[in-house]
């Protein structure tokens, strides 16, 4: 029982993917081929043949949509990339940690201001400054770990979104580390007194 197949071309932007599909295939079958060839999930696909969206009726036979050998089907949709999705998730987790550390910095800065304004008696200042310094150094260490984690991420040029987010995160962390160093230097002056 020899199955007759059609040779059609999937067009995604400027890229063309020649594919072979059985003549009795449905739109749904073609959508699955698009997943394999173009890495676009069915829910993100829009297939257009001769100006008509055929992906809206997945159970329809391709031949009833006038798709035949040498037809071109335009594919519109966002590609998925497991690698980038994982990288984006990891960056999101790092960003959450960094935001938490930044809140800690803000709280510690407020504590320093309060102590400097005289809201703590002299006998407790030294101990308070030492505790603040310890928290600052711990926070700084967490930021350094985040930088190291991001540095170990291998992001190819195709991971443009993840690369952009990582760059933004690195800039934020470096800025936070600079602020932390200033706070530590400020606290050290009071501990030394």
Q: For 97-148, how does the pLDDT look when each residue is reduced to its tens digit (9 = 90+)?
A: 889 998 998 999 999 999 988 888 888 888 999 999 999 999 999 999 999 9
Starting at the edge strand found earlier in the chain, the sheet holding 46-49 runs 15-22, 5-12, 72-76, 46-49, 52-53
Residue with more model confidence, 29 or 2: 29
Ordered domains of the chain (ranges, CATH): 5-76 (3.10.20.90), 82-192 (1.20.58.120)
Q: Dihedrals φ, ψ of 54, to 5°?
A: -95, -15
Residues 6+ apart with CB under 8 A from 182: none
Q: For 180-192, how does the pLDDT look when each residue is reduced to its tens digit (9 = 90+)?
A: 999 999 899 888 6
- b/e code 110-126 from CB counts within 10 Å (16+ = b): ebbeebeeeeeeeeebe
pTM attached to this predicted model: 0.56
What is the predicted pLDDT for the residue at 81?
65
């Amino acid at each position: 029982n020899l199955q007759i197949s059609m040779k059609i071309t999937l067009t995604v932007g400027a890229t063309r993917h020649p594919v072979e599909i059985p003549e009795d295939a449905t739109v749904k079958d073609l959508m699955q081929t698009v997943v394999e060839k173009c890495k676009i999930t069915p829910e993100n696909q829009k297939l257009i043949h001769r100006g008509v969206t055929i992906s809206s009726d997945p159970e329809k036979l391709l031949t009833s949509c006038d798709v035949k050998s040498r037809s071109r089907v335009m594919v519109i949709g966002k590609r998925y990339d497991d690698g980038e999705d994982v990288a984006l998730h990891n960056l999101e987790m790092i960003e959450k940690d960094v935001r938490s550390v930044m809140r800690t910095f803000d709280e510690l800065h407020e504590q320093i201001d309060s102590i400097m304004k005289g809201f703590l008696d002299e006998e407790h200042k030294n101990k308070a400054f030492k505790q603040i310094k310890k928290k600052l150094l711990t926070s700084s260490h967490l930021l350094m770990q985040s930088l190291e984690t991001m540095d170990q991420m291998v992001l190819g040029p195709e991971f443009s979104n993840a690369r952009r987010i990582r760059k933004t995160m690195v800039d934020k962390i470096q800025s936070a580390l600079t602020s932390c160093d200033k706070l530590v230097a400020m606290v050290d002056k009071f501990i030394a007194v």
